[in-house]
Chains A and B, each alone.
Chain A
Amino acid sequence: AQSVAQPEDQVNVAEGNPLTVKCTYSVSGNPYLFWYVQYPNRGLQFLLKYITGDNLVKGSYGFEAEFNKSQTSFHLKKPSALVSDSALYFCAVRDGRSGGYNKLIFGAGTRLAVHP
């Protein structure tokens, strides 16, 4: 089955501390992985993606993500959190099935709260 799991509904972190938002996946074929962020009353914005190559992917707003094939994970990280990073974060994976049309399958989302 094609699926994405975000095991934490909410992550709380103090401003200035490192943050990690977890994502694991199950997919046919090569995993194409994405992270999106949603600020209040807005649509989703693209942060970064992994298609192939270096396992550490850098994206917008200082975020990065590490692809780990053996653990089927793609955790989102940032070395120093900002209050303005508080938002809802979604992990997504390409539907790799034949006839999947490259659709994206989204996780349930993780709410990140960064406290001053």
Chain B
Amino acid sequence: QKEVEQDPGPLSVPEGAIVSLNCTYSNSAFQYFMWYRQYSRKGPELLMYTYSSGNKEDGRFTAQVDKSSKYISLFIRDSQPSDSATYLCAMSGPLGNRDDKIIFGKGTRLHILP
């Protein structure tokens, strides 16, 4: 089993829909959970960051972490064509721990249809 699993998509949804992006992981030591957005021909940019379990909201974006299920989600409300990008989940363990390297998912390609 890979450390981080993420469906590569592509995922196409109409403008205004709610988007749900997900990752599963196998390493229970992971404590830091991140979502990056990567536009075509650009580097990834940090979108959301969550420590341990729970929800975090930032505008139209909500990140959820369920450590008991080893499952993280990113929700995008009122999706816009400008949200079309590849979304990478990433996670890591405690600093100084052998698991403190950031592990990335493969990314999900999202297309928002006007």
Q: Do A and B bind?
A: no
- Which positions in B face A, CB cutoff 8 Å? none
